[in-house]
Amino acid sequence: MPLFDKPLPELHEYRPERSEPADFDLFWRDTLAKAETDPLEPAFVRYDAGLSTVEVWDVRFTGFGGHRIAGWFLAPREVAGPLPTVVQYLGYQGGRNWPIDWLVYPAAGYAVLVMDTRGQGTDTADPDPGANPQVPGFLTRGLVDRDSYYYRRVFTDAVRAVDAARTHPIADPARIVVAGGSQGGGIAQAVAGLRTDVAAALIDVPFLTHFRRAAEMVDKTGYGEIADYLARRRVPPEDVFGVLDYFDGVNLAARATAPARYSVALMDAVCPPSTVFAAYNHYRGPAEIDVWPYNGHEGGAQVQRMRQLRWLGETL
């Protein structure tokens, strides 16, 4: 993909007006309050992954609607806590996979809780997705009102994953980091916007951000599902975008106060750079951004990972 979005200097200034419902905060306060009425019941069961220097637990906790959410918890073995702990959210259509996929943070001296994404994940169902016929994928699941929308459930799970991480004895509750790339970046950004007690946020090439613009720019899996849904069902676009506004990363970033490290790739046709900058430029707390000028959606990959480790060392 060649360069296709705004030039970098314009991106740095791109701070579009937010399309934010009046009762945005109320909606989320109610949603999270209701979720808290279900007991969290975190369960950490030791799991033999054949690893000698890392300890692994299979995790379950209660997310949205009383549904049980799966995850992994890994920590360096024989290290006395409390440890700073990363809550890791996942890319689109991915799942928690296997413990050996999540060794970077333990190797660097952190604990990590990896949250499976309901429906798309490895071991976590999405028990109530039936509100509407939808385009394949998850972006239009339940997209008939804000209450039934899929990401209401996911973001709530994600908020509670932080609570779950905190209950582990090795985790330092004052040093919880949220992290992820693509969909995972969008979720981390949402959690940073929905709670005030995370210590840092690592947000790479975030998805679920600036939906109105993204739906006009992307025609592939991901944002393209929105246009596909509108093309097929021919409902008034505002019926759709009016719901998405409650979940838009731009609005969530505008509420986030934790120090954040973003990354963006200028040739990213999946999460176009202007959508990322729209949120970054609205981010309320202190934030930095790494720009990858010739990369696509892979973004900074492992090099970004190394920068994040250094930055976390300085920030926490």
Q: Which residue numbers belong to the known binding site for substrate?
A: 92
Contact track, its own copies, 180-219, x by CB under 8 A: -----------------------------------xxxxx
On the 0-12 / 13-18 / 19+ scale of CB atoms within 10 A, 39 is exposed
Give yes or no for residue 295 binding its own copies (CB under 8 A). Answer: yes
Give yes or no for residue 131 binding its own copies (CB under 8 A). Answer: yes
Give yes or no for residue 127 binding its own copies (CB under 8 A). Answer: yes
Min dist. Cβ of residue 204 to its own copies (A): 14
The angle that helices 24-36 and 150-167 make with each other, rounded to 10 degrees, is 50
- Binds its own copies (CB under 8 A): choice among 49, 254, 289, 316: 49
CA 60 to CA 63: how far, in whole Å?
Answer: 9
228 is catalytic: no
Give yes or no for residue 123 binding its own copies (CB under 8 A). Answer: yes
> Interacting stretch for its own copies, rule CB under 8 A, among 31-39, 158-166, 228-236, 274-282?
228-236
Cβ atoms of 121 and 101 within 8 Å: the answer is no
Tell me which of 116, 126, 163, 182 is the catalytic residue. 182
Q: Which of residues 72-91 bind its own copies (CB under 8 A)?
A: 76-77, 79
Nearest Cα neighbor of 292 from 257, 264, 315, 256 is 264
Min dist. Cβ of residue 301 to its own copies (A): 8
Give yes or no for residue 126 binding its own copies (CB under 8 A). Answer: yes
Give yes or no for residue 120 binding its own copies (CB under 8 A). Answer: yes
Nearest Cα neighbor of 127 from 41, 69, 44 is 69
Cβ atoms of 193 and 256 within 8 Å: the answer is yes
Cβ atoms of 241 and 232 within 8 Å: the answer is no
Query: Count of CB atoms within 10 A of residue 15's CB?
Result: 13
Nearest CB to its own copies, comparing residues 24 and 225: 225
Helix (H, G, I), strand (E, B) or coil at 174: strand
Residues 6+ apart with CB under 8 A from 307: 261, 290, 300
Give yes or no for residue 227 binding its own copies (CB under 8 A). Answer: yes
User: Which tokens hold the place of 316?
Assistant: 């926490």
182 is catalytic: yes
Min dist. Cβ of residue 130 to its own copies (A): 4
Nearest CB to its own copies, comparing residues 123 and 254: 123
Count of residues of this chain found to bind its own copies when the rule CB under 8 A is applied: 70
Helix (H) or strand (E) holding 88: strand 83-88
263 is catalytic: no
Cβ atoms of 243 and 141 within 8 Å: the answer is no
> Interacting stretch for its own copies, rule CB under 8 A, among 32-40, 45-53, 203-211, 247-255?
45-53
Alpha helices in the chain (DSSP H): 8-13, 24-36, 104-107, 150-167, 183-194, 211-217, 224-233, 237-244, 249-253, 273-280, 301-315
Tell me which of 116, 263, 268, 282 is the catalytic residue. 268
Catalytic residues: 182, 268, 297
Q: Which residues in this chain contact its own copies in the complex, by CB under 8 A?
A: 1-3, 49-54, 76-77, 79, 93, 95, 97-98, 100-101, 103-104, 106-109, 118-134, 136-137, 215-219, 226-227, 230-231, 233-234, 237, 267, 292-296, 298, 300, 302-303, 305-306, 309-310, 313
